[in-house]
Amino acid sequence: MESEEQAKKRLGNYYIAIWNGCDPDIASAIRQFRDSWKPYSAASRRYPIHRLIHELIDPAVTAYRETLPPDYLVHMPGSTEVSFSEMAQLVGFDAAVRLQRHLLRAFIKTKDQQTTTDQRFIATHESLIQLVWDCACKQPVKSSMRAINGTSRGLNDKRRHSFCRFCGSPTTLTSFSDNKSQLRGSNDVLRLSNLYCIKHQPKLPNGAWNPLYKQATRSIAQFDIELERISKQCANRSRPLMSGDTLVDQYFLQLMLGKTLQPADKAELRDLARRMVDSKLSDAKKKMLVLKRAGFNQAEIGKQILNAKQQPMTRQAVSKALASVRKEFLLET
C-alpha cells in the first residue's frame, strides 16, 4: 500500500493529508477523493466538487456516524437530515471549516478522555477539516480571476491559494483573489506570489531585497520544527511530545495547555511558530522556563543548562536569557 509520503510526492498540490488514526473507511474515501479531484472545483459546472464529496465522502461519513455513541453525534458535522456534502454546500467551505473547528473544540473540552474512540474521533474530524479546507483553496484547472461585475482581473488563477511559506498570513495571490474589487490590467506590473505574503515577499517595491524575507529564509528549518511541535502538542494535550528532550517536551505541554488552539487553526499556529522563531526562543530558554516553573532558582538552573561552550551557565546568563523571553511564551507558575 502506498505510504502517505509517497502519495504526497505523487500528488503534489493535489495531496490532502490524512491524520494517523483516522477511521479506515473515511481515510480510504479521502484517498479516492484526492486521486480524482484534480478537475473539480466549487466554480466548475462540469466538475462540481460538491458532487464528488457527495459520491465519495458522504457514504463513509454516514457509515462512521452509525458507529458512534449518541452523545458524540452532536459534535459530528452533518446529520441524518443533512449530509456532509450538503452541509458544506449550504454554508460554504469557509464557514464549514469554522463549524467543524467549533464542534471539535467543544468535543475536546467536554468529552475527550483520550480513549481509543476519542482519538479516532479527533483524527477523523481533523482529516475531514483538512479535506474541506483544501476544497476551499481548490481552484479550477483552467480559470481566470473575475471581478464582481464579471470583468477579467488579468491574472490566471491556476495556482493554489494558501498561506505564506513563513507565517499564517495569506499569500499575495490569495489576498488579491479574495478581494474581487481589485483589477489587474495588461500593463500592470503587479506581481502576485502563491508562496509569500506581502510582509515576506522576496523583494521590496524599490527592488531591494526584503530583510524580513532573508531573516525568515535563514530560520525556515527552525520554523518547520516549531510548527510541527505545537501542531502535534495541541492535537494531544494530555501527554507531552516524545522528541527525546524531556524538558523541551514539558515546555510545549505547559504552553499549549494555556491555549485553545487546535490543529485546524492553521493560520494561528503558523503565526505562533513564526513569533517563537523571530523572538529567538531557543530550546535552552524553553528548558530554563520549565525549571523556573518547577521552583529552581537561577543558580540551580544554570547548573543544568549548558552554554555554547558546553559549560554550565552562570546565574547572570540565565537571568539575561529569561528576561529576553516574550510574555506570551512564559509559563504560569
Q: What is the per-residue pLDDT across 79-130, written as a single tens digit (0 to 9) for each?
A: 778 899 999 888 888 888 888 888 888 888 888 888 889 889 999 998 999 8
Residues 71 and 167 in one domain: no
pLDDT reported for residue 91: 86
Q: Are residues 130 and 18 in the same domain?
A: yes
Tell me which residue of 26, 21, 18, 87 sits closest to 56, measured CA to CA: 26
Tell me the pLDDT tens digit for each residue of 234-266. Answer: 877 778 887 788 999 999 999 988 787 877 788
Hey, how many other C-beta atoms are within 10 angstroms of the C-beta on 310? 6
Residue given cell 459546472 in the structure block:
45
Domain tally for the chain? 3
Same domain? For 125 and 228 the reply is no
Q: How far is CA 256 from CA 101, 149, 294, in A?
A: 17, 45, 17
Q: What's the pLDDT score for residue 152?
A: 52
Q: Is residue 133 part of a domain?
A: yes
- In whole angstroms, what separates CA 301 from the centre of its chain? 34
Q: Measure the CA–CA gap between 249 and 31, rounded to whole angstroms.
A: 33
The backbone torsions φ and ψ at residue 193, rounded to the nearest 5 degrees and listed phi first, read -105, 140
| Any domain includes 215 | no
Q: What is the pLDDT of residue 284?
A: 92
157 and 103 within one domain = no
Residues 202 and 267 in one domain: no
Among 166, 183, 209, give the residue marking a domain's end.
209
Last residue of a domain, one of 155, 189, 209: 209
Amino acid at site 254: Q
pLDDT at 154 > cutoff 60? no
Tell me: do 20 and 91 sit in the same domain: yes
- Using a 10 angstrom Cβ sphere, with 0-12 exposed, 13-18 middle and 19 or more buried, the burial of residue 139 is buried
Instruction: Answer yes or no: do 72 and 109 share one domain.
Output: yes
For residue 214, being part of any structural domain is answered with: no
> Which domain range does residue 178 map to?
143-209
Q: Are 213 and 200 in contact (CB under 8 A)?
A: yes
In a domain, 23, yes or no: yes
Domain check: are 151 and 259 in the same one? Answer: no
Residues 9 and 131 in one domain: yes
> Looking at the domain assignment, is residue 11 inside a domain?
yes
Answer yes or no: is 32 within a domain.
yes
Is this prediction's pTM over 0.85?
no
The answer to whether 164 touches 196, Cβ cutoff 8 Å, is: yes
Q: Under a CB-based contact definition with an 8 Å cutoff, are residues 168 and 267 in contact?
A: yes
- Mark whether 189 and 79 lie in a shared domain: no
What value does the mean pLDDT of the chain take?
Answer: 84
Considering the domain architecture, whether residues 272 and 232 belong to the same structural domain is answered as yes
Using left for φ > 0, alpha for ψ between -120 and 50, and beta otherwise, residue 320 falls in alpha
The answer to whether position 246 is within a domain reads yes
- pLDDT value, residue 149: 53
> Is residue 78 located within the same domain as residue 24?
yes
Q: Vertex 171, ends 168 and 174: CA angle to 5°?
A: 115
Report yes or no on 8 lying in a domain.
Answer: yes
* CA distance to 44, 223, 230, 281, 304, per residue, from 248 (Å): 48, 16, 12, 11, 13
Residue in 246, 40, 211, 244 with CA at minimum distance from that of residue 142: 40
Domain end, chosen from 85, 109, 137, is at: 137
Model confidence at 188, in pLDDT bands (50, 70, 90)? very low
